[in-house]
Amino acid sequence: MHELQLVALDGGDDTEMSWQERSLCAQTDPEAFFPEKGGSTREAKKVCVGCEVRSECLEYALSNDERFGIWGGLSERERRKLKKRAV
């Protein structure tokens, strides 16, 4: 996994932030990303569309076999389909 070096806007030293720290979902209600069975994933996916680390998030979910929640803009079902197509 690659991490990006960011320069602090206050002119301080370089600060290394992981993709999780840069994710938009980290600044949002986590409940939206883990809806009840049959619940809407729409709000979470809206957040993912504008997230700069969406691909890192999806890569993490696929490589760690995350079975719950919205990761990289995809639901559990969508990730399973993606994995089956890749095989």
Q: Among residues 54, 48, 57, which one has the least CA distance to residue 28?
A: 48
Go through the chain and tell me how many residues it has.
Answer: 87
Beta-bridge partners for 6: 15
- At 12, give phi and psi (nearest 5°): -75, -170
| H/E element, 16 | strand 14-17
3 is in an annotated binding site: no
48 is in an annotated binding site: yes
Known binding-site residue numbers = 25, 48, 51, 57
Known binding-site residue numbers for [4Fe-4S] cluster = 25, 48, 51, 57
